[in-house]
């Protein structure tokens, strides 16, 4: 089971870069790392996904070290609207390892 | 595409009543997932389907819960009889088949309150 560990909550200020780290010590070779964002009263929304090194899109960057036992979601220059819960997942729910969303990291952006 | 569609968005019912939640996945997606979210337990996977066939229902809490997918564009999650502890937000998600990668697209959820 590809279990992940991430901080329960984080605070930051507008304009800052926010990094959320996720630990996944027993990640399998073929596992992808996926991050989702959830706003209140909405379903989770895909942010970024990667397998190794670094991935960047218009929203965020995902840094994955060589051993792949952790990964870091980086949000550049956050705004108040980035206040949300962020989930780190490893693997695929449709395989036997059954990804677990858990409670995620509650990010609170302050003005 | 309209995304994943769920209905109703809100449901208030009394204990003992039957509740049916509905989901229309994104066209062409091979997988459909049902989740339940509460403050205490976070987001839990209840069951998922592949090409309309239930694959893993080990997350279904008890026999009062059942799910069906009669065709590729429709799924239901039924609770009979409902209990106050079933109060939660229920999400449906769908995903295309893309090798080892999996991206789930979630619906807006159904907020269920059982009195």
Tell me which residue in B48, B95, B106 faces A44 most closely, judged by beta carbons: B106
Tell me how long chain A is: 111
Taking only Cα atoms into account, the Rg of chain B, rounded to an integer number of angstroms, comes to 13
Q: Mean pLDDT for chain B?
A: 93
pLDDT at residue A95, rounded to an integer = 63
Query: Which pair of structure tokens corresponds to residue A109?
Result: 């952006």
CA distance B52 to chain A (A): 13
Q: Under an 8 A CB cutoff, do B100 and A101 touch?
A: no
Largest CA distance in chain A: 43
Q: Does B56 touch chain A (CB under 8 A)?
A: yes
Q: Phi, psi (5° rounding) for residue B24?
A: -120, 115
Instruction: Give the tens place of pLDDT for each residue, A69-109.
Output: 999 999 999 999 999 999 999 887 666 555 677 779 999 99
Interchain CB contacts (distance < 8 Å): A and B = 64
pLDDT in tens, B37-73: 998 888 889 999 999 999 888 889 889 999 999 999 9
Structure tokens at A14: 């507008």
pLDDT number for residue B98 = 75
- Structure letter (DSSP) for residue A42: S
Residue in chain A nearest B96 by alpha carbon: A94
């Amino acid at each position: 089971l590809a279990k992940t560990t991430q901080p329960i909550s984080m605070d930051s200020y507008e304009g800052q870069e926010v990094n959320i780290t996720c630990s996944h010590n027993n990640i399998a070779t073929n596992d992808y790392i996926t991050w989702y964002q959830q706003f209140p009263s909405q379903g989770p929304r895909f942010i970024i996904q990667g397998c190794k090194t670094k991935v960047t899109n218009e929203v965020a960057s995902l840094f994955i070290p060589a051993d792949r036992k952790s990964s870091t979601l980086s949000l550049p220059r956050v705004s108040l609207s980035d206040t949300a819960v962020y989930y780190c997942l490893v693997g695929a729910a449709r395989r036997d390892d059954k990804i677990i969303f858990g409670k995620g990291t509650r990010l609170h952006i302050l003005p | 595409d309209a995304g994943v569609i769920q209905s109703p968005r809100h449901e208030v019912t009394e204990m003992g009543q039957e509740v049916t939640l509905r989901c229309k996945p994104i066209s062409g997606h091979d997988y459909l997932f049902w989740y339940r979210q509460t403050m205490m337990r976070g987001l839990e996977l209840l069951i998922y389907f592949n090409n309309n066939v239930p694959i893993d229902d080990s997350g279904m809490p008890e026999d009062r819960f059942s799910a069906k997918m009669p065709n590729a564009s429709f799924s239901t999650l039924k609770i009979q009889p409902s209990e106050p502890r079933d109060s939660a937000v229920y999400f449906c998600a769908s995903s295309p088949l893309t090798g080892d990668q999996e991206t789930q697209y979630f619906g807006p959820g159904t907020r269920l309150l059982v009195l």
